[in-house]
Amino acid sequence: MPGTHASDSLYHRLFAHPEMVADLLRGFLDPAMLAELDLDHLRRHNTKFTSRKGERRRSDVVWEIPTRNGSTLFVLLLLEFQSEVVEWMALRVDVYTGLLYQQLVHERRLKESDGLPPVLPIVLFNGEPRWNAATSLRSLIRLPETSSLWQFQPEMRYHVMDEGAYPRDLLERSPFVTAILFRMEHPVDPEAMVRAARDVSEWFSMHPDGPPVKHLFLELIQAGLARLKVDPLPTIPDDLQEVVIMLTARVEKWAKDYEQKGMQQGMQQGMQQGQAKLLLNLLQERFGLIPESIQKQVTSAGLDDINAWACKLFKADSLQAVFQ
């Protein structure tokens, strides 16, 4: 996860409140599943999961939720802040589920006659690339479809909540505060950040008995403005309504600056693409077919590197010499 995104500590503090977890589930879980759950009586479960280094994973939380049929569902909430998609997430979910079951047995909360309680693993992802990893463990297992060994393979699935994948208009219409959280984590411009700040201020005005997390949304606003590189970065007041007034007064200037920066970045990107294409054409005329690895190296390089390679082009006796 890029450094300007809300930290895992911030998310951990947000979702340490049962009201926030219930809001997340109500806003982004299938209604058929919601109908089975009593979200008014969530209870935090103290886990003992550890990372590969033996450190406790602060970003994974487990909540117990009573179901309408009298049983208990354990929601395993994995908060992912990495910039890259975790390809082996289905395996991690399977391991954590096993650890949870072992803990319940060790604590003598389960009897053999009880069987195992259901688990709902949810991955909440706020990275920039869209989540495309396999969501089932069986998808990772390499076996022919007709193999008789499938009957012995583990089955595990998880549900993904990819913040950046939800349509913006859907989030803006949503009555849930976690939808505003998603908008703050992925602002498209300063005006979008101001609208999100205004909406979260109104939400807390309408929910005076809501979770005590106003100060955390102030941190989210600060992080979102830093991500947008507004200049100068303002000091955020302690009151949400004051924040909205302050942002509204400044948003017009920020919007103009942001648009100008976007135009400059677009021009630079266009120059880079044009120079890269020209260099590849010259390389092909001089040395013949260009390997795909070199093509990728050139198209992803900055203007300084492209110009340096172009200067070497006509003196080099081989393609490799250009890129030494």
Interval 28-75: pLDDT, tens: 999 999 999 999 999 998 876 655 555 555 557 899 999 998 889 999
pLDDT > 90? residue 79: no
Say what the pLDDT of residue 270 is: 59
Of 72, 33, 54, 64, which Cα lies nearest the Cα of 157?
A: 33
Residue 49 contacts residue 60 (beta carbons within 8 Å): yes
Look at residue 268 and tell me if it is in a domain: no
DSSP code for 184: H
Residue ranges of E strands in 48-92: 60-66, 72-80
Instruction: Decide which of 265 and 147 is more confident.
Output: 147
**Cα–Cα distance measured from residue 18 to residue 211, given in angstroms and rounded to the nearest whole number:** 8
- Look at residue 37 and give its three-state secondary structure: strand
Confidence label for 3 from pLDDT (cuts 50, 70 and 90): very low
Say what the pLDDT of residue 292 is: 81
Look at residue 47 and tell me if it is in a domain: yes
Task: Give me 316's structure tokens.
Answer: 């080099």
Say what the pLDDT of residue 285 is: 76
72-80 vs 119-125, strand pairing mode = parallel
Look at residue 76 and tell me if it is in a domain: yes
Whole domain around residue 124: which residue ranges? Answer: 1-140+151-165
Say which residues have a Cβ less than 8 Å from residue 217's Cβ, sequence separation at least 6: 180, 181, 184, 200, 240
Amino acid at 7: S
Over residues 1-19, mean pLDDT: 73
Look at residue 230 and tell me if it is in a domain: no
Say what the pLDDT of residue 133 is: 92
Over residues 256-279, mean pLDDT: 62
Instruction: Decide which of 89 and 272 is more confident.
Output: 89
Residue 23 contacts residue 177 (beta carbons within 8 Å): yes
The domain total for the chain is 1
Look at residue 310 and tell me if it is in a domain: no
Say what the pLDDT of residue 257 is: 62
**Cα–Cα distance measured from residue 106 to residue 33, given in angstroms and rounded to the nearest whole number:** 29
Instruction: Identify the top-confidence range among 39-43, 258-262, 277-281, 301-305.
Output: 39-43
pTM (whole model) above 0.85: no
Share of the chain above pLDDT 70, in %: 89
Q: What is the mean pLDDT of the chain?
A: 84
pLDDT tens-digit readout, 209-224: 889 999 999 999 988 8
pLDDT > 50? residue 317: yes
pLDDT tens-digit readout, 167-219: 999 999 999 999 999 999 988 888 888 899 999 999 999 998 889 999 999 99
Say what the pLDDT of residue 117 is: 92
Say what the pLDDT of residue 261 is: 58
Q: Which of 92-96, 258-262, 305-309, 320-324 has the lowest mean pLDDT?
A: 258-262
